[in-house]
Amino acid sequence: MTQPLQNLEQLLDRVSTVARQNERVSIEMVIESIGSRSFGPLLMLIGITLFSPLSGIPGMSFFMAAFVLLVAVQMLIGRKRFWLPHFILNRSVEHKKLQKALDWLSKPARGIDRVLKPRLTFLVQRGGSYGIAALCVVVGLCMPLMELVPFSSSAAGLALLILGLSLVAHDGLLALLATVIFGGAFSFLIIHLL
């Protein structure tokens, strides 16, 4: 049984292990390594993908939006284990590209992990986690539009990464920060589309 993740560095280490062992790394391989029972690590995975250089792959925002919506809706309805369709699970990337993105993120991950601690836990446990799932539905619905405005999907990715971290570390302050970041990205999107 996979041990629950405690921080961002552990997530990157697990994904890096999969990348070193395979020529191409599928989403299914990554999810198996981090566990499919926890909403936080899956959000972190989506956030890392959108915030990293991998977000430059055409259509990545649209694809990740579908992933966010599937996971968030399943959390809202109370599923204990997440189901994802094969078209998402089979998507893969070359291990060299993935490892380059992971290397790029490793130093910031160590710094971020130093400041994580349980705070304002009511925002990330029980009812609060449903609020986070609802926010993720909104983010997922907005992401296809973010493909039209440069860097807005990276901001949404950062917000999703922080939301995932808040669930893993039981840090409600991070959930508030992610809400502010997404609010800023949404405002930026609206200004540029009008």
Average pLDDT over residues 122-144: 85
State the amino acid at position 74 in one-letter form: Q
Task: Check residue 177 and give its pLDDT.
Answer: 92
DSSP secondary structure of 49-80:
HHHSGGGGSTTHHHHHHHHHHHHHHHHHTT-S
Give the tens place of pLDDT for each residue, 136-147. Answer: 898 888 888 877
CB atoms within 10 A of CB 141: 13
Confidence of residue 180 (pLDDT cuts 50, 70, 90): very high
Q: State yes or no: pLDDT of 1 exceeds 60.
A: no
- b/e for 40-56, b at 16 or more Cβ within 10 A? bbbbbbbbbbbbbebbe
**pTM for this model (two decimals):** 0.75
Give the tens place of pLDDT for each residue, 92-120. Answer: 888 888 888 888 888 888 888 888 888 88
Confidence of residue 127 (pLDDT cuts 50, 70, 90): confident
Give the tens place of pLDDT for each residue, 49-96. Answer: 887 776 667 777 778 888 888 888 888 888 777 787 888 788 888 888
Task: Check residue 2 and give its pLDDT.
Answer: 60
Query: Is-contact 182 68, C-beta < 8 A?
Result: no
In terms of DSSP bridges, do strands 24-26 and 92-94 run parallel, antiparallel, or are they unpaired?
Answer: antiparallel
Give the tens place of pLDDT for each residue, 4-22. Answer: 777 778 888 888 888 888 8
For the chain, give every domain's residue range: 8-193
Dist CA 115 CA 92 (whole Å): 32
Give the tens place of pLDDT for each residue, 22-51. Answer: 889 888 888 888 775 567 888 887 888 887
Query: Is-contact 119 26, C-beta < 8 A?
Result: no
Dist CA 52 CA 16 (whole Å): 14
* Of residues 52 and 175, more confidently modeled: 175
DSSP assignment letter at 84? -
